[in-house]
C-alpha cells in the first residue's frame, strides 16, 4: 500500500510543534501500525532526518506504553491498542493523521511521546491495599465469591494507557480512576481503606488537571480493554457514601 502520513513533530516539551507530511510506499497489510512507523523511521534515518519519537514496549497490547491519536481516534479505528492495530485496517492511498494524546495533564515530551506520570501519582493516593510484606494471612482464610473475583478481574485489566483521557472532550481520567476503585472495592481486602481511597484519588485526579466527567462515554468507546462505563457510577457512588460517612 501507499500512504500519506501527517505526523505531529515537536522537538521537546517547550518547542512549538507542527504537522509534517510523509509519503510511504510498500506498506504491507501484515505490518502492525508501529512497524509501519519503524519502516518510516528507517527511511528518515537514511535520509538524515531524525526519526519520529513514539512510545512502545511490549507490542502485544498489555503494557499500556503505546499511545497515538490516529485520524482523531485514540489507538485508531479498532478497539485495541496501537501496537495491535494492523495496516490491513487501512486502504491503499489513505491519508493518516497521527498525533500524540491530547490532554492538559499529559504534556508532550517529544513528537508523539507524552508524560503520563499523573496516573502514577493518582495510584500513590490510595490505589492499593496497605499490607506489608510478610504480614499476609493464609490466602484461603478469606473466601471471595466468584462473581466478585471475576468482576474485579475485568476492571483490573486496565493497562493505564490513557486512551480514555485522550478521547474525552473534558480530558477526564474518571474511567481510569473508576476502574481501580472498582477493582479494590469488589474485594474484601479492599474494604478497610475504601472511603479514604476514593476521596484521595479523586482529589489527586483533580489536582493533576484532569477534567470532570460529564457522562459522554467517549472514554469507554476508546478503551482497548473495554472497561465499562459503570465503573464511573461506582466511583461516584463510593465518593458519595464516603462523604456521608464524613471522610
Scan residues 175-204 and list those touching another protein (CB under 8 A).
Answer: 183-184, 187, 189-190
Judged by CB under 6 A, does residue 58 bind ligand FES? Answer: yes
Q: Does 56 bind another protein (CB under 8 A)?
A: yes
Regarding 83 and contact with ligand SF4 (CB under 6 A), the answer is no
Choose among ligand SF4, ligand FES, another protein, none what residue 9 binds, the Cβ cut-off being 5 to 8 Å by kind: none
Q: Is residue 46 a contact residue for another protein (CB under 8 A)?
A: yes
CB of 235 to another protein, least distance (A): 17
Of residues 131, 36, 126, 161, the one with CA closest to residue 88: 36
The C-alpha atoms of residue 91 and residue 159 are separated, in whole angstroms, by 29
C-alpha cell at 62: 498489555
- Of the candidate residues 24, 31, 62, 199, the single one contacting ligand FES (CB under 6 A): 62
Using the 8-state DSSP alphabet, how is residue 99 labeled? E
Q: Which is nearer to ligand SF4, 27 or 122 (CB)?
A: 122
Q: Which stretch binds ligand SF4 (CB under 6 A): 12-20, 26-34, 94-102, 217-225?
A: 217-225
Is residue 223 within the footprint of ligand SF4 (CB under 6 A)? yes
- HSE-up (13 A, CA, CB side) for residue 119: 26
Q: How many helices (H) and strands (E) does the chain have?
A: 8, 7
Residue 106 binding ligand SF4, by CB under 6 A? no
Query: Could you tell me how many residues of this chain bind another protein (CB under 8 A)?
Result: 77
Buried-state track 91-124, b at ≥16 Cβ within 10 A, e below 16: eeeeebbbbbbbbebbbbbbbbbbebebbeebee
Amino acid at each position: 500500500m501507499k500512504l500519506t502520513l501527517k505526523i505531529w513533530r515537536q522537538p521537546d516539551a517547550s518547542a512549538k510543534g507542527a504537522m509534517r507530511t510523509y509519503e510511504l510506499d510498500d506498506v504491507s497489510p501484515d505490518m502492525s501500525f508501529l512497524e509501519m512507523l519503524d519502516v518510516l523511521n528507517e527511511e528518515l534515518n537514511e535520509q538524515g532526518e531524525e526519526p519520529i519519537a513514539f512510545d512502545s514496549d511490549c507490542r502485544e497490547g498489555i503494557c499500556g506504553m503505546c499511545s497515538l491519536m490516529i485520524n482523531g481516534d485514540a489507538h485508531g479505528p479498532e478497539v485495541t491498542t496501537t501496537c495491535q492495530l494492523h495496516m490491513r485496517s487501512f486502504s491503499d492511498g489513505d491519508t493518516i493523521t497521527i498525533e500524540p494524546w491530547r490532554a492538559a495533564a499529559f504534556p508532550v515530551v517529544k513528537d508523539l511521546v507524552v508524560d503520563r506520570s499523573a496516573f502514577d501519582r493518582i495510584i500513590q493516593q490510595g490505589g492499593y491495599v496497605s499490607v506489608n510484606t510478610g504480614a499476609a494471612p493464609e490466602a484461603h482464610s478469606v473466601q471471595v465469591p466468584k462473581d466478585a473475583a471475576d468482576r474485579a478481574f475485568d476492571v483490573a485489566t486496565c493497562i493505564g494507557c490513557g486512551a480514555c483521557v485522550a478521547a474525552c472532550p473534558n480530558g477526564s481520567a474518571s474511567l481510569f480512576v473508576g476502574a481501580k476503585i472498582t477493582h479494590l472495592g469488589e474485594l474484601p481486602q479492599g474494604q478497610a481503606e475504601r472511603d479514604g481511597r476514593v476521596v484521595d484519588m479523586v482529589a489527586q485526579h483533580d489536582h493533576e488537571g484532569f477534567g470532570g466527567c460529564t457522562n459522554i462515554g467517549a472514554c469507554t468507546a476508546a478503551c482497548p480493554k473495554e472497561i465499562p462505563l459503570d465503573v464511573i457510577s461506582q466511583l461516584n457512588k463510593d465518593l458519595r457514601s464516603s462523604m456521608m460517612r464524613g471522610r
